[in-house]
């Protein structure tokens, strides 16, 4: 099988490359290291792409900008793709306000170029679009919550397992990032409905893992681990650090891709996350990282939350699990953090040895 992975140097993209390469497929990647442009040296993924080249058997990366339709079309004419996994994106709320046109071009126009290339050159391919729960904007904040000692919780027991795909996406604040991702999400659905492409939309929440190049603006848990190890100061934005998130390892996300690819349901949208068992507030995450690293984290709190920030968001994955009963979350939160700490320590050790 010929597999295309966009954003091949990113968290989910690199995991997809490893997964499908190990499974014996020919894997083509697209990544021009734009994350370094967005976030500076801390966002640089060149090291990860180099590592992928060393560790894989059938992986080739192309330095292509997904906004470049001519280059995308050229790549698709050269390769008959059976599976397209679209992970490339500008991923940060705050950065989107600084670069609104670039943000929209990457997240919406780039997605359109890939969908159209699939339609024109490999219409039988399965197309998986990596979307985000930020398409729901701050609509989840209308659900009543109760403040507890270290976290907020939904006060309505109907939301114990989290938010499902019926949460509305209009009449709320998305941020510019959320809006551009929503545009790509809807367009991906429409290519399934209008042209019959085998498109599936995965709306992820807090995606994480040892391959995450986390920065202050994006990649909360990865950045928190770096802060602990480097003894920096972490800034909590709003809600006294009690905002609730569920974390999912990139491997479990890619396992969901594989399940969908084997039995595509065109036009479906799915929430994917770590669920109730992998949920933690910012404060609880700080405590967990402190325990695993043995290092006290210095942090400060500002009263103002990030624009459009969701107070509580746990992904209800019941729909995906019903459609794909072989899938479940296999890596728990403590194991995720332990793996990230070990990876970051190893990376720093190699850096200082050079």
For 1-5, 35-39, 205-209, 293-297, which range has the lowest pLDDT when averaged over its residues?
Answer: 35-39
Partners of 235 in the β-ladder: 300
| ∠ Cα 53 28 345 (to 5°) | 35
Instruction: Count other C-beta atoms under 10 Å from residue 352's C-beta.
Output: 6
| Tens of pLDDT, residues 40-50 | 888 889 988 99
CA 303 to each of CA 134, 161, 221, 236: distance values in angstroms, whole numbers, following the listed order: 22, 28, 20, 9
pLDDT at residue 312 tops 70: yes
Mean pLDDT of the chain: 94
90 neighbors 102 (Cβ within 8 angstroms): yes
124 neighbors 215 (Cβ within 8 angstroms): no
pLDDT at residue 132 tops 80: yes
Closest CA to 82 of 131, 130, 24: 24
User: pLDDT band for position 333 (50/70/90)?
Assistant: very high
pLDDT at residue 124 tops 80: yes
> What is the structure's pLDDT at 232?
93
> What is the structure's pLDDT at 212?
79
pLDDT at residue 256 tops 90: yes
pLDDT at residue 185 tops 60: yes
For 6-15, 111-120, 337-346, which range has the lowest pLDDT when averaged over its residues?
Answer: 337-346
User: pLDDT band for position 353 (50/70/90)?
Assistant: very low
Q: Where are the alpha helices (DSSP H) in the chain?
A: 11-22, 34-39, 46-55, 69-78, 93-98, 100-104, 110-121, 175-195, 220-230, 250-262, 282-293, 318-323, 333-353
Q: How far apart are CA 309 and CA 238, in angstroms?
A: 9
Burial class (CB in 10 A: 0-12, 13-18, 19+), 349: exposed
User: pLDDT band for position 180 (50/70/90)?
Assistant: very high
> What is the structure's pLDDT at 349?
64
Residue 213 vs residue 241, higher pLDDT: 241
Its pTM stands at 0.95
Mean pLDDT, to the nearest integer, of 182-200? 98
Domain 2-353 indexed as CATH 3.40.50.720: yes
> What is the structure's pLDDT at 88?
98
Q: Output the CA torsion sign for 211, 310, 143, 323.
A: negative
Mean pLDDT, to the nearest integer, of 272-285? 97
User: pLDDT band for position 302 (50/70/90)?
Assistant: very high
281 neighbors 244 (Cβ within 8 angstroms): yes
| Tens of pLDDT, residues 198-233 | 999 999 999 999 887 777 767 889 899 999 999 999
29 neighbors 13 (Cβ within 8 angstroms): yes
- Residue 18 DSSP SS3: helix
Q: How far apart are CA 282 and CA 151, in angstroms?
A: 8
| Tens of pLDDT, residues 87-96 | 999 998 889 9
């Amino acid at each position: 099988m010929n597999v295309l992975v966009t954003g091949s140097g990113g968290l989910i993209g690199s995991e997809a490359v490893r997964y499908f390469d190990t499974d014996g497929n020919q894997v083509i990647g697209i990544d021009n290291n734009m994350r370094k442009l967005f976030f500076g040296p801390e966002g640089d993924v060149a090291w990860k792409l180099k590592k992928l080249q060393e560790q894989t058997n059938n992986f080739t990366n192309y330095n292509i900008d997904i906004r470049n339709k001519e280059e995308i079309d050229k790549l698709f004419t050269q390769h008959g793709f059976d599976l397209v996994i679209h992970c490339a994106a500008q991923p940060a709320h705050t950065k989107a306000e600084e670069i609104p046109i670039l943000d929209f071009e990457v997240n919406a126009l780039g997605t359109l170029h890939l969908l159209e290339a699939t339609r024109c050159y490999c219409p039988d391919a399965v197309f998986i679009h990596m979307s985000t729960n930020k398409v729901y904007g701050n609509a989840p904040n209308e659900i009543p919550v109760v403040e507890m000692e270290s976290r907020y919780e939904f006060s309505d027991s109907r939301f114990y397992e989290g938010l499902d795909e019926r949460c509305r996406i209009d009449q709320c604040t998305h941020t510019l990032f959320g809006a551009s991702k929503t545009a790509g999400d809807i367009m991906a659905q429409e290519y399934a409905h209008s042209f019959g492409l085998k498109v599936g939309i995965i709306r992820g929440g807090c995606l994480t893992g040892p391959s995450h190049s986390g920065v202050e603006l994006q990649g909360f848990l990865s950045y928190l681990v770096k802060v602990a190890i480097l003894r920096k100061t972490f800034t909590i934005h709003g809600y006294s650090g009690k905002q609730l998130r569920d974390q999912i390892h990139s491997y479990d996300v890619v396992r969901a891709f594989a399940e969908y690819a084997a039995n595509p349901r065109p036009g479906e949208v799915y929430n994917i996350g770590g669920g109730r068992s992998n949920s933690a507030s910012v404060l609880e995450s700080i405590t967990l990282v402190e325990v695993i690293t043995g290092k006290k984290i210095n942090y400060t709190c500002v009263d103002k939350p990030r624009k459009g920030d969701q107070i509580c968001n746990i992904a209800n994955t019941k729909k995906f699990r019903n459609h794909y009963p072989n899938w479940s979350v296999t890596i728990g939160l403590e194991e995720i953090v332990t793996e990230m700490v070990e990876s970051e320590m190893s990376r720093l050790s190699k850096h200082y040895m050079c």
